[in-house]
A and B are shown apart, each in its own frame.
Chain A
Amino acid sequence: VKRLYEGLVYDLDVHHAWDSPQELAPYLSAEWRDHVLGNGRPTLRLQPPGLLWPHPQGTGRRAETYPEGYKRPGSSYELLCEQHLDPLGVERVVLGFDIGMNGALPNPLLAAEIVRAANDWSIAEWLERDPRLYGGLLVAPQVPELAAAEVRRLGSHPKVCQVLFAAHVAGRPFGHPIYHPIYEATVEVGLPIAFHSAGISAGGLGQPAAGGMPGSRLEYHTLAPQATMHDLASMITFGVFERFPELRLLIVETGVAWVPWLLWKLDRHFDALRRESPWVKRVPSDTFRDHVRLTTQPLDESEEVEQLVDVLESFGGMEKVLCFSTDYPHWDTDTLRSVARRLPRAWWDDIFHGNAARHYGWPVAAPAPVA
């Protein structure tokens, strides 16, 4: 199978996981270790039971990504290299935990502890092991000052490239002033932030869908990006980017075809918005273009290729917004070829590496081979 695109590739959404919470043991503080590890066989899941709707195939992971012994997909570095990094020829990937909903555990202090241990685990076991691996820094946004402290603690590590928000339990989307101390810290350490879709879990105050609780996983997962759209709207309406002009945001795994709809709706409200939110100075779609990037996966599968291109071209400038991602090892992974064949060739360099390079301050060309 031809890959179509042969240039430099950065993949901004790859998931890594611990197979057992036992792996976190060396990174847990003494006072929490007993609670997390139980009586020698850990039983806690360490993330909220977000999925009231089981995946009808029994797993949300690709079958071939299970390491030998039916270990957890994403838990084997060797398999990641063999199945993904080497064949794709990917220069850098951004690791994002198993989505990272751990920060939304109902016990906020346990959430902060798991996140802290997970970050240390990720840096030691993954990021420092391979020059291709970069990672998000997980935060538990429900206690903003602890989240800000975590950003300051590890945000300057050279392999940490963003601060990752996967879910909140506070009932207010991410533009709300309660979260601003976290943005202050991320700007201070010079990191962009990322919102990963599908993170609003059942049991918190943030509903997974507007208008009522979905009746199937099919509906739940279709609609999951609604919460992230609200997070984006709220970042704009609260004027977060006016307050923190250096802040940049990556939206992960929402699909991309909703952008003209939401941003033009927000633009049409600009007169109302300036009155009810006087710190907002710029038209929402201008703020979006300057501060926000989107990952491509799952790239919207229009029935005709031209339909998606029409949607993206209608808004204009999306070739400078979209950044390639695969979502390995999850079930709905995109491939380099599947993305290349659905987007115009003239956009490929920007989407496969250029936009990510500018977003993270990474090289725009592959390093020259050593002679």
Chain B
Amino acid sequence: VGRNGSTTAAAIAGAVDCCVHVTWATPEGFVEYLPAAWREQVAGPTLRGRPTLLPYLMPRSPFEHPTGAYLPEAMPTGALTPEELLARHVEPHGLSRAVLCPIDGLVMPAVPSHFYALEIVRATNRWLAERFLDGADERLAGSILVPSHLPEEAAAEIRRWADHPRMAQVLLGGNGLGRPFGHPLYRPIFEAAAEAGLPVAIHAGGDQLAGSTAHPAAGGLPSFYTDASALAGQSLQTHVSSIVVQGVFERLRDLRVLAIGGGVGWIGWLVWRLNMEYRAKRRETPWLERNPSQVFREHVRVATYPLEAPADPTRTAQLVRGVALEDGLCYASGFPSWDCDSPREVAARLPEGWTDAVLRENAAALYTNQPTEAIA
């Protein structure tokens, strides 16, 4: 058991946060970003009783945290304004940049009404840009949510936003096609991201919709929030394996993928196992010319959120040193979700000497379209 990372103010200043969760407080505040016909469907009067279908704008996961999924200050919806985000998170932790992820939109690609889901995703991007990015503090950056269930439309959505100076990454949540993201169906998405020079983030939890063909966990349906949430990293494992093994990076040598929301302790198990399997089964994937571990090291970054948190922080540091490399991890807070991590908390659980890389440098290398002076 070695020493842990430095947590002095100087050591953690200027951190880049790869994932801050944003959502809207009420559907009324969001619906104006939908095209008129869809706005009428969800916000127009219905025939009897309820004035509108707005309460059903977004599907809900069947797995709910018993006391709410957010910090008390963000309860009950998790919605914070840009000013609140700055005052409660960016300023106090001295962040140089916070990349926003629209958390409620993650499940949309798995919604069966595919054109409705498409419009919600598009409106989410308009809402995020207008409310959080355009004219707002330059430390806030955005993610382009993509309708992965319609890959051509998804690619078009990436191209639509690619030149926005503050969109830092492409964001994949669930998938409505029942196939992990290395499937050739999704090629247009990765090609568009590579063309735009943007990394692709995959956020866990998007497969937790009831009736998702993608399944939130292996081996059957969970019964509790605890199972579903603790196992959320499983779909990340599947997607990352798929992208590595199906040769996405062999075709797109400059592409980077960021896995968010499963913590980091799974990396060793998965990558070592992929290597062992590849040694025996490489005939099956003739397009894969490098060891999976090498592909992973070059192309995949893993966000720290939610970083493993046993009572003794030196245990996390030892686990991290075992499973990961210093240049493989990027700080992400998950703020304001209940299990979020401040940069100080993460630094305290990292191996000694890793703070610079994980809090700042690795993200600077990942978000090449973002001005480095703002990040440094």
Question: Which residues of A approach B to under 8 Å, CB–CB?
Answer: 53, 55-57, 168, 170-173, 175-176, 200, 205-219, 221-223, 226-231, 233-234, 237-238, 255, 257-258, 260-262, 264-269, 271-273, 275-277, 298, 300-303, 306-311, 313-316, 331-332
Contacts and interface: CB of A to CB of B under 8 A. Distances in A.
Contacts of B275: 301
Contact of A257 (B182, B245, B309, B323): B323
Contacts, number: 270
Interface string B217-237: 111111111110111011111
Contacts of A310: 318-319, 321-322
Given A223-B237, A233-B227, A266-B226, A260 B219 contact: no
22 contacts: A55-B281, A56-B283, A207-B218, A210-B216, A210-B234, A210-B235, A218-B277, A218-B285, A223-B234, A233-B227, A234-B222, A237-B226, A255-B269, A255-B272, A257-B323, A268-B339, A269-B230, A273-B224, A276-B226, A303-B272, A303-B293, A311-B323
A211 B277 contact: no
B269 A258 contact: yes
A200 to B, nearest CB: 5
Given A212-B207, A255-B273, 6 more contacts: A56-B284, A172-B223, A176-B223, A209-B234, A230-B218, A260-B265
A213 B235 CA distance: 11
B308 A265 contact: yes
B250 to A, nearest CB: 14
A317 B278 CA distance: 31
Contacts of B290: none
Nearest to A175: B223
A308 B219 contact: no
Contact of A216 (B65, B235, B263, B285): B285
A216 B276 contact: no
B175 interface: yes
Given A57-B283, A227-B218, A215 B339 contact: no
Nearest to A60: B280
A215 B315 contact: no
A215 to B, nearest CB: 6
Given A269-B226, A302-B272, A307-B268, A226 B319 contact: no
B242 A219 contact: yes
B286 to A, nearest CB: 10
A286 to B, nearest CB: 12
Contact of A214 (B213, B241, B309, B322): B241
Contacts of B66: 272, 275-276
Interface in B197-254: 207, 213-227, 229-231, 233-239, 241-242, 245-246
Residue with the highest number of chain A CB atoms closer than 10 Å, among B66, B227, B231, B278: B227
B242 A300 contact: no
Contacts of B238: 209-212, 214, 219, 223, 226
A301 B276 contact: yes
A293 B318 CA distance: 22
Contacts of B183: 212, 215
A260 B214 CA distance: 26
A105 to B, nearest CB: 18
B276 A260 contact: no
A311 B245 contact: no
Contacts of B113: none
B270 interface: yes
Would you list the 3 A-B pairs with minimal beta carbon distance, nearest first?
A: A211-B235, A261-B265, A227-B219
B241 A261 contact: no
B175 A212 contact: yes
A222 B241 contact: yes
A215 B221 contact: no
Contact of A261 (B65, B181, B263, B283): B263
Nearest to B323: A311
Contact of A173 (B219, B276, B282, B306): B219
A156 to B, nearest CB: 30
A331 B207 CA distance: 33
A173 B321 CA distance: 32
A266 B230 contact: yes
B143 to A, nearest CB: 19
Contacts of B216: 210
A307 to B, nearest CB: 5
Contact of B217 (A216, A230, A308): A230
A119 B284 CA distance: 36
B220 A172 contact: yes
A222 B273 contact: yes
A56 B207 CA distance: 30
